[in-house]
């Protein structure tokens, strides 16, 4: 095990081996990943104040509560003034960055709206707030407009880098094209976004080999950020029917931690999110992810009246908690595991910054 961990470059069989680690070997993996993070990045954690900007979505991903076919969801778009109020809260709490997330929409009202709020946040904060977008697949023109308006990071999860597994969780229709998703990630990288991607862990039919290929995919794209989290079945989606065919909660969390730890060893300087979904399955899920190598957390700033309508998966953590409550809670939780939240800084990906400098 020690020999595998210390290899200069992990290959597919090594990765499968690490993802299958149990007992003492698992502990050795987690320890080595934490040591790698502390060596390359320090014990700092960066925050992204999250605004769930709109839950309207043109897609029908088979795992997601916001899918178009789910008529139980009351659809909304947050107003410009409300987004700005979130930005003021972020500034007051010392959050250095915001994240704007939504269902996938390509209508002009939405595209223009995102551009408008990006500019407004930049103006309001005098450029102090960094901004991550996570608004799905768009044309290159739209990605460029948003980049020019001030977004500098973009997160678009591949969900699974294996074509067959991708189509087992998405309908096989033109709007759910795997190739299009890949193209979008390349477009984002080309424009110069700090580009992030990621997958869900514990999907029906997913093997350690699939997960190893996901990690190899992240490395092959040289992405700046990764967000990965456990799959949580949602009762109003088609994948609910397969909930008996997935690993237990404990297994999904464990596998997520192994994915984070292995990736931290493979890509020591990227930004990695500790997903809120970890907290849904385990009361200390976010802390465990940070101890396994994650270095970013996204506390929710969405106005309270919309929150119940943004349930991508059930039992989301912090849905009823006010921003100040999460602020204190997270600060304390990170201190308990010897980490330090870095306030008032963008917290860009060190991997990305170094690559830029190399190019310059
Ligand atoms: N469980 C966990 N994560 C989910 N996502 C969507 N549905 C679920 C679910 N049921 C994740 C996807 C998507 C992001 C918005 O949320 O990875 O990219
Ligand atoms: Fe829409 Fe994203 Fe949910 Fe898919 S995962 S249904 S694109 S919100
Ligand atoms: Fe939201 Fe703890 S982080 S209540």
- Which residue, among 323, 319, 270, 317, has the nearest Cα to 294 in the 3D structure? 270
Atom of ligand 2 nearest to the CA of 65: 3
Does a structural domain hold residue 103?
yes
Give the range of the structural domain holding residue 259, as residue numbers without chain letter: 9-355
Ligand 3 pocket check for 318: Cβ under 6 Å: yes
**pLDDT number for residue 198:** 98
Tokens of 192: 């110069």
- Which residue, among 173, 239, 167, 253, has the nearest Cα to 210 in the 3D structure? 167
Tokens of 151: 């977004």
Distance 265 CA to ligand 1 centre (A): 25
pTM: 0.98
**pLDDT number for residue 42:** 96
Residues in the chain: 360
Does a structural domain hold residue 89?
yes
Measure the CA–CA gap between 210 and 167, rounded to whole angstroms. 13
Q: How far is CA 69 from CA 16, 56, 284, in A?
A: 36, 11, 33
| C-beta of residue 75 within 8 angstroms of C-beta of residue 121 | no
Measure the CA–CA gap between 21 and 44, rounded to whole angstroms. 27
Can you list the positions of beta strands (E) in 187-305? 194-197, 200-201, 225-230, 271-274, 296-297
**pLDDT number for residue 360:** 63
Distance 197 CA to ligand 2 centre (A): 14
Residues 275-305 have pLDDT tens digits of 999 999 999 999 999 999 999 999 999 999 9
358 pLDDT band (50/70/90 cuts)? confident
Please tell me whether residue 81 adopts helix, strand or coil conformation. Answer: helix
Distance 337 CA to ligand 1 centre (A): 27
Residues 126-166 have pLDDT tens digits of 999 999 999 999 999 999 999 999 999 999 999 999 999 99
Distance 62 CA to ligand 2 centre (A): 9
Q: Where are the alpha helices (DSSP H) in 246-313?
A: 249-266, 276-281, 285-291, 304-307
Ligand 3 pocket check for 325: Cβ under 6 Å: yes
Does a structural domain hold residue 1?
no
Average pLDDT, the chain: 97
Number of domains in the chain: 1
Q: How far is CA 343 from CA 93, 94, 192, in A?
A: 8, 5, 25
Does a structural domain hold residue 4?
no
Q: Cα dihedral angle (219, 270, 185, 162), rounded to 10 degrees?
A: 40
> Across residues 226-248, what is the average pLDDT?
98
Give, rounded to a whole angstrom, the gap between the first and last alpha carbons of the chain: 39
| C-beta of residue 98 within 8 angstroms of C-beta of residue 49 | yes
What phi and psi, each to the nearest 5 degrees, are found at residue 295? Answer: -140, 15
Which ligand ends up closest to the CA of 314? 1
Mutation pick for ligand 3 pocket among 95, 278, 307, 325 (CB with most ligand atoms within 8 Å): 325
CATH number for position 146: 3.20.20.70
Atom of ligand 3 nearest to the CA of 329: 2
Tokens of 148: 């020019």
Does a structural domain hold residue 242?
yes
Residues 78-126 have pLDDT tens digits of 999 999 999 999 999 999 999 999 999 999 999 999 999 999 999 999 9
Distance 331 CA to ligand 3 centre (A): 9
Residues 27-83 have pLDDT tens digits of 999 999 999 999 999 999 999 999 999 999 999 999 999 999 999 999 999 999 999
Atom of ligand 3 nearest to the CA of 286: 3
Q: Cβ neighbours of residue 221 under 8 Å, at least 6 residues apart?
A: 185, 186, 189, 195, 197
| C-beta of residue 292 within 8 angstroms of C-beta of residue 33 | yes
Which ligand ends up closest to the CA of 60? 2
| C-beta of residue 61 within 8 angstroms of C-beta of residue 170 | yes
Residues 256-267 have pLDDT tens digits of 999 999 999 999
Distance 276 CA to ligand 1 centre (A): 11
Distance 133 CA to ligand 2 centre (A): 14
Does a structural domain hold residue 87?
yes
What's the number of CA atoms in the CB half-sphere (13 Å) around residue 226? 34
Does a structural domain hold residue 3?
no
Can you list the positions of beta strands (E) in 151-193? 153-155
Please tell me whether residue 358 adopts helix, strand or coil conformation. Answer: helix
Which ligand ends up closest to the CA of 175? 2
């Amino acid at each position: 095990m020690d020999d595998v961990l210390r290899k200069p470059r992990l290959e597919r069989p090594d990765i499968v081996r690490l993802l299958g680690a149990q007992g003492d070997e698992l502990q050795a993996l987690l320890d080595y990943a934490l040591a790698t993070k502390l060596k390359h990045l320090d014990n700092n954690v960066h925050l992204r104040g999250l605004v769930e900007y709109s839950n309207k979505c043109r897609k029908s991903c088979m795992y997601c509560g916001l899918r178009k076919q789910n008529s139980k969801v009351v659809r909304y778009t947050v107003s410009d003034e409300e987004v700005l109020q979130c930005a003021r809260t972020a500034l007051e709490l010392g959050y250095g960055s915001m994240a704007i997330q939504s269902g996938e929409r390509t209508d002009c009202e939405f595209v223009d709206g995102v551009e408008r709020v990006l500019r407004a946040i930049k103006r309001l904060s005098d450029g102090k707030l960094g901004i991550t977008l996570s608004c799905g697949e768009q044309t290159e023109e739209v990605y460029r407009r948003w980049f020019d308006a001030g977004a500098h990071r973009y997160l678009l999860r591949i969900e699974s880098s294996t074509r067959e597994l991708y189509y087992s969780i998405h309908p096989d229709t033109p709007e759910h094209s795997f190739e299009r998703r890949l193209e979008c990630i390349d477009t984002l990288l080309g424009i110069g976004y700090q580009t992030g991607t990621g997958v869900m862990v514990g999907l029906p039919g997913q093997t350690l080999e699939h997960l190893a290929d996901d990690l190899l995919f992240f490395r092959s794209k040289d992405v700046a950020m990764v967000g990965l989290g456990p799959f949580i079945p949602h009762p109003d989606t088609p994948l609910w029917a397969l909930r008996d065919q997935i690993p237990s909660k404990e297994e999904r969390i464990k596998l997520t931690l192994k994915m984070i730890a292995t990736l931290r060893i493979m890509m020591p300087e990227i930004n990695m999110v500790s997903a809120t979904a970890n907290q849904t399955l385990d009361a200390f899920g976010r802390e465990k992810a940070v101890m396994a190598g994650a270095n970013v957390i996204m506390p929710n700033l969405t106005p309270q009246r919309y929150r119940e309508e943004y349930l991508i998966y059930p039992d989301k953590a912090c849905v009823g908690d006010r921003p100040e409550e999460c602020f204190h809670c997270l600060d304390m939780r990170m201190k308990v595991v010897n980490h330090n939240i870095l306030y008032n800084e963008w917290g860009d990906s060190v991997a990305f910054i170094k690559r830029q400098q190399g190019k310059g």
